[in-house]
Chain A
Amino acid sequence: NAGVTQTPKFQVLKTGQSMTLQCAQDMNHEYMSWYRQDPGMGLRLIHYSVGAGITDQGEVPNGYNVSRSTTEDFPLRLLSAAPSQTSVYFCASSYSGERGARYEQYFGPGTRLTVT
């Protein structure tokens, strides 16, 4: 199993540009989530999904969109990039949909995004 994969590893955007961060898992996990990590602030939840077709907001959802058309994929879209979105983004997945947060999370390697 590849586990959780994320692409790209690094990305530089200009203010106002849009892009999609890709996340895929091959473990048939129902629960998937996106976090951003900023220095001294730990990980903050952006959006999460308990299964295909179901998504919900986390702690810091503004400026980001998600969709979940398949169990495997959970892309994160930046609508109009801002310097405040410079961060490292992590995707994670776990067993169980409705109670996914209660289980061990499997993390991807991260995408380091810089917005200039």
Chain B
Amino acid sequence: SQQGEEDPQALSIQEGENATMNCSYKTSINNLQWYRQNSGRGLVHLILIRSNEREKHSGRLRVTLDTSKKSSSLLITASRAADTASYFCATAPFGGNKLVFGAGTILRVKS
């Protein structure tokens, strides 16, 4: 069974708008990671947030983590057509060594 569940499944926005994707998970975690996958390619790591962190920034990316609600969000500000991709959250469960991925959010940025 999957640990992380992304919401929405698909998102379509105009260039310049912000995109927000959410991830929920079920068990205690060591950290949560976000990845991007362009069509037909492998996944690329975007950002990692540890369980004792609440917010992290990297360029136009902002990730929040709420361990009490077992949820995370990824915000992409001022989106560009090149941001069109699938975005996945992945959780490293506390005490385990298996990274578990969610089903992903498909983001389309229209120019």
Given the interface pairs A35-B101, A42-B102, A43-B101, the reply to whether A102 lies near B42 with Cβ below 8 Å is: no
Q: Are A58 and B98 in contact (CB under 8 A)?
A: yes
Q: Are A101 and B92 in contact (CB under 8 A)?
A: yes
Chain B residues, CB < 8 A from A40? 103
Given the interface pairs A90-B42, A107-B42, the reply to whether A102 lies near B103 with Cβ below 8 Å is: no
- Cα of A35 to Cα of B88 in the assembled complex, Å: 14
Given the interface pairs A42-B88, A42-B102, A42-B104, the reply to whether A100 lies near B45 with Cβ below 8 Å is: no
CB distance from A85 to the nearest CB of B (A): 19
Residue B75 is within 8 A (CB to CB) of chain A in the complex: no
Given the interface pairs A42-B102, A43-B88, the reply to whether A104 lies near B97 with Cβ below 8 Å is: no
Binding site for A on B (CB under 8 A): 1-2, 4, 30-31, 33, 35, 41-45, 48, 88, 90, 92, 96-104
